[in-house]
Amino acid sequence: MNTADLGLPVDVPSTALFTDQYELTMLRAALAAGTAGRRSVFEVFTRRLPDGRRYGVVAGTGRVLDAVENFRFDAGVLDFLRERDIVDEETLAWLADYRFSGDIWGYPEGEVYFPGSPIMRVEGSFAECVLLETVILSILNHDSAIAAAASRMASAAGDRPLIEMGARRTHELAAVAAARAAYVGGFATTSDLAAGFRYGIPTVGTSAHAFTLLHDTERDAFRAQVDALGSGTTLLVDTYDVAEAVRTAVEVAGPELGAVRIDSGDLLLVAHRVRQQLDEMGATGTRIVVTSDLDEYAIASLAAAPVDAYGVGTQLVTGSGHPTASMVYKLVARAESDDPKAPLKPVAKKSSGGKTSMGGRKWAARRLDADGHAEAEVVGTGPVPAALAGRQLLVELVKGGAVVAREPLEAARDRHAAARANLPLSATQLSRGEPVIPTEYAPEGSGS
């Protein structure tokens, strides 16, 4: 069984209503005006990274492909639109046959990005492309925010594994997406079984404080857990007195005890004391897992502590203070008629307040320095310079409406590890700063 093909139930019968009403009213007006069929190019990008972030992480691409495939207006959805008088009958008839037939290009999942990067490019008629705005943005904004936080945490953790355990801190379906994005960003496992079922992510978990409190004594609780799960289990040792719990844990499980988990207190101090106690009792191979509302800064502060793994929940699933990547979906080029051969005309929003955009169908490439590390994100609308032709970032994801770039989640995870390693060393700094490499805009005709 391929669990990646299974999917989870949602509250609506398709992804078509994961949208904003104005997309359908724009469609209605464009159909009436005769402009709905004009060939158009929309791009996803962000004007800036969240404050203090040095790079962004593309995540959710695979989920976007699923959403585009499942963007269908079935009878129930059409009845809802009719009953609410959201669109007219002509538009309903058009929606009944909706199938995205255009092309989508984008940064492959796991790649890093910077302000102005054309993270995804959607091409087709105005009508079919405009409908996808909200569902694409909701996926990419959420998943990329989680993956960026996960990447920073993974960088701070070094070789120590990270456990995603934030399901109880967010919406039940968002929790599954968050676990997936965290895995792309460098987390090793998740506590969420739905994420394991849907995406094949390794799952872990043993017991909470409630299990200890259920029993008459802590020893009884540890004995029950070891009898059921074996001596390699992880025992939670901070329900009462940590030192006493560690002593009891080793007495019950023996020196082969797999791990102890600490979920409260001064983690740096407690971890040192627990490590010393475990070693003195001969449990030199017993690992120490710490949890307790960690973020990348707390993880970094524990770098010198004898900690073997970290469990992260709230801060991860909320993007560690930045729950969105602030991506937008903008029309950047369109034809002047319905003729499929009509040339594309660059278009762009011009306004005050930092919300301007750059018109034209864009390419992107990453220029490397003499040591092979990234030194600039180059974005342009003209020919690609010969020196950058082999460094282009966008890949074809959908061609003629058919998905052409599905890949295992492991591929995105490995890609991110490689992309992060290719950045300058300052990318791993947690202190505030500008993007680790600048975005440069190539002048028109620079490819000649």
Q: Is the pLDDT of residue 10 over 90?
A: no
Is 1 within a domain? no
The answer on 197 and 65 residing in a single domain is no
Q: Which amino acid is at 147?
A: A
Would you state the pLDDT for residue 350?
79
Residue identified by tokens 């999917």 is 7
The single-letter DSSP state of residue 392 is: B
- Say yes or no to pLDDT of 59 above 80: yes
Residue 78: inside a domain, yes or no?
yes
Q: Provide the percentage of residues in the chain whose pLDDT is more than 70.
A: 95
Q: Report the DSSP beta bridge partners of residue 365.
A: 378, 392
Residues in the chain: 448
Which tokens go with 244? 């006493």
Are 111 and 197 contained in the same domain?
Answer: no
Span 149-184, pLDDT tens digits: 999 999 999 999 999 999 999 999 999 999 999 999
If we measure between CA atoms, which residue out of 77, 60, 199 comes closest to residue 137?
60
Q: What is the DSSP letter of 428?
A: G
Pair (285, 351) in one structural domain:
no
425 within domain boundaries: yes
135/168 same-domain check: no
| Same-domain check for residues 161 and 289 | yes
Query: Strand (E) positions, 117-176?
Result: 120-125, 162-164
Q: Are residues 310 and 380 in the same domain?
A: no
* Separation CA 219–CA 420 (nearest Å): 45
Given 256, 288, 321, which residue is the final one in a domain? 321
- Could you tell me what percent of the chain has a pLDDT over 90? 90
- Residue with the bigger pLDDT between 318 and 447: it is 318
CB 364, CB 377: distance < 8 Å: yes
Q: 309 in helix, strand or coil?
A: strand
Examine the pLDDT at 3 and tell me if it is beyond 60: no
Query: E-assigned strands of 39-145?
Result: 39-46, 56-57, 103-106, 112-113, 120-125
Q: Is residue 224 part of a domain?
A: yes
Residue 51 lies in a domain: yes
Specify whether 161 is located in the same domain as 274: yes
∠ CA 194-195-200 to the nearest 5 degrees? 115
User: Which range of residues forms the domain containing residue 85?
Assistant: 15-146+324-441
Q: Do both 44 and 66 map to the same domain?
A: yes
Give one DSSP letter per residue of 227-249, joined into a string.
HHH-TTSEEE--SS-HHHHHHHH
Nearest to 374 by CA among 107, 112, 47, 59: 112
Domain termination residue (choose one: 264, 288, 321): 321
Residue 6 falls within a domain, yes or no?
A: no
Looking at 45-59, 256-270, 275-289, 337-351, which range is the least confident one?
337-351
CA distance 332 to 359: 5
Q: Are residues 317 and 330 in the same domain?
A: no
Q: Of 288, 321, 354, which residue sits at a domain end?
A: 321
Tens digit of each residue's pLDDT (9 = 90 or more) over 291-309: 999 999 999 999 999 999 9
Contact present, 421 and 155 (Cβ < 8 Å): no
Does the pTM surpass 0.85? The reply is yes
Domain count, the chain: 2
> Residue 247: which CATH number?
3.20.20.70
Q: Residue 91 domain-assigned?
A: yes
Mean pLDDT in the chain?
94
Whether residue 307 is contained in a domain is answered as: yes
Same domain, 23 and 115: yes
Q: Are residues 280 and 378 in the same domain?
A: no
Q: Are residues 270 and 189 in the same domain?
A: yes
Q: What is the CATH number of the domain that holds 414?
A: 3.20.140.10
